A and B are shown apart, each in its own frame.
Chain A
Amino acid sequence: DAGVIQSPRHEVTEMGQEVTLRCKPISGHDYLFWYRQTMMRGLELLIYFNNNVPIDDSGMPEDRFSAKMPNASFSTLKIQPSEPRDSAVYFCASLSGSGNEQFFGPGTRLTVL
Chain B
Amino acid sequence: AQTVTQSQPEMSVQEAETVTLSCTYDTSESDYYLFWYKQPPSRQMILVIRQEAYKQQNATENRFSVNFQKAAKSFSLKISDSQLGDAAMYFCAYGRFGNEKLTFGTGTRLTIIP
Interface residues of A (CB under 8 A from B): 31, 33, 42-43, 45, 48, 50, 55-56, 89, 91, 93, 95, 100-104, 106-107, 109
Give the size of the chain B interface in residues (CB under 8 angstroms): 19
With contacts A101-B47, A104-B44 known, is A45 near B107, CB below 8 A? no
CB distance from B109 to the nearest CB of A (A): 11
Q: What is B's interface to A at a CB cutoff of 8 Å?
A: 33, 35, 37, 42-47, 50, 91, 95, 100-102, 104-107
Give the number of A-B contacts (CB < 8 Å): 39
Contact flag A102-B102 (CB < 8 Å), given A43-B91, A89-B43: yes
A45 with B102, Cβ < 8 A, contacts A100-B33, A100-B95, A101-B50 known:
yes
Q: Which of B45, B47, B50 contacts A91 (CB 8 A)?
A: B45
